[in-house]
Amino acid sequence: MEKSILVYRGSQVESTHCVHIAVVNREGDLLYSVGDPNRMTFPRSSMKPFQAVPLVETGAADHFAFDAPALALSCSSHSGENYHRNTVLNILDKLELQEEALQCGTHTPWNMESYKKLLRAGKDVTPVYSNCSGKHSGMLTTAVHLQEDISSYRDINHPVQQRILTAIAEICSFSKENIQLSVDGCGVPVHQIPLINAALGYARLAKPDKEVNEQRSEILTRIRDAMVAHPEMVGGTNRFDTDLMRAFGAQIVSKAGAEAVQCLGLTDAGIGIAIKVEDGGTRAVSVATIEVLKQLGVGNDQIYHQLSKYAEAPVYNARKEKIGAVKANFLLAKRLDEHK
């Protein structure tokens, strides 16, 4: 397997990461790849934009007056900053639910300043700080709107999860029967699909096709526009998704997933990209992503200057001295001709 990402200590390679990449258009044609573009993969949180589709499709988002930031938060893996927390609490208030209704579990906020404020105030970490609380509040919104049981909304047989399963299968063009299910870190079902199909989903999110499905196209457009207009809601301060979408403006919609997954779509071209680092090494993700974009000829020097810390991630020692770097070492292989 190709050593796609090299980790240098000084001038010597200390470690390597193998990466799988699929680049496709809206029709599902494989344009470029690295490694195995058909690798069965749990895209994890990269599927959150599609998990939010039923929130809009059922009318729940409109009924509870979701604005664009709230919709973007429903697609997020947020850092637990005040504006994330307040938005989730506002959604719960509209639903007339307490924070305990969230079944996402708890973890310390990813934003260190938010965590320090909690410690100084002597407050407990609660579910609202979970990076998945936006997604869970969206699921609760759909259940409340349709008068469904909210105590079991995580169960795969619950209508909330069945609608999500259908949306992912349809958008990514992979049958429900072939999607392998497991449990995500926040307790809801997670869906295993080929990497190429995850990329296809992002091609369709990036540039929805009204001729294929007008209603679904409008929903995907609304979700995409919310994410690119409010990238701070999708991640947070010093987060790759947020900084990438800010740097590229409306050109890119992006969402990371746990275990070193990154999915993104190019809005002008209608191209989807899905990346999976074989060993789950997250330090390789941004490096691989920036390299793919550069090889595709997307962006300019000014944009990449803003993203320089992600393009060649520095390695520091305990004294905060730079002693190495994480660098890309792959070429996208053109696949369109042989695919057709």
Average the pLDDT over 278-306 and give the result: 97
Q: Where are the domains of the chain?
A: 5-334
Position 327 pLDDT exceeds 70? yes
Position 338 pLDDT exceeds 80? no
- Residues 110, 84 contacting (CB under 8 angstroms): no
Percent of the chain scoring above 70 in pLDDT:
98
Give tens-digit pLDDT for 95-117. 999 999 999 999 999 999 999 99
Position 62 pLDDT exceeds 50? yes
Q: How far is CA 139 from CA 70, 170, 292, 318, in A?
A: 13, 19, 33, 42
**335 band by pLDDT with thresholds 50, 70 and 90:** confident
- Residues 185, 257 contacting (CB under 8 angstroms): no
Task: Give the three-state DSSP class for 20.
Answer: strand
User: In CATH terms, is domain 5-334 a member of 3.50.40?
Assistant: no
pLDDT at position 1, please? Answer: 67
Give tens-digit pLDDT for 122-181. 999 999 999 999 999 999 999 999 999 999 999 999 999 999 999 999 999 999 999 999
The two tokens of residue 193 are: 């699909």
Give tens-digit pLDDT for 21-41. 999 999 999 999 999 999 999
Within the chain, what is the greatest distance between any pair of CA atoms?
A: 61
Torsions phi, psi for 45 (to 5 deg): -70, -10
Position 318 pLDDT exceeds 80? yes
Taking the CA of residue 69 as centre, how many other CA atoms within 13 Å lie in the half-sphere pointing to its CB?
11
**340 band by pLDDT with thresholds 50, 70 and 90:** very low
- Residues 290, 304 contacting (CB under 8 angstroms): yes
**210 band by pLDDT with thresholds 50, 70 and 90:** confident
Percent of the chain scoring above 90 in pLDDT:
95
Q: How far is CA 167 from CA 24, 49, 53, 79, 303, in A?
A: 19, 10, 7, 26, 33
Residue 298 and residue 250: Cα distance in Å, rounded?
13
Residue 46 is classified by DSSP as G
Considering the entire predicted model, what is its pTM? 0.96
